[in-house]
Amino acid sequence: MYHAEELIEVYTLKDGNFILCNTYHKGDILESPYFKGLKIELKKIL
């Protein structure tokens, strides 16, 4: 059994908002056209 902190990563956006990423799908999320279009640097905080 996995602990939640092993499965979820939190990233802040430059505008102060944040997103939660399941580590299994992080690549799909961060490489999606939505994030590529924004060209926002993500900062890992967890």
| pTM, full prediction | 0.32
pLDDT digits (tens, 9 = 90+) for 21-38: 666 665 666 666 666 555
The answer to whether 23 and 6 have CB atoms below 8 angstroms apart is yes
Domain boundaries, the chain: 4-44
What is the reported pLDDT for 30?
61
Mean pLDDT, the chain, as a whole number? Answer: 61
Per-residue exposure over 1-39, b if at least 16 CB sit within 10 Å of its own CB, e if not: eeeeeeeebebeeeeeeeeebeeeeeeebeeeeeeeeee
End-to-end CA distance of the chain: 20
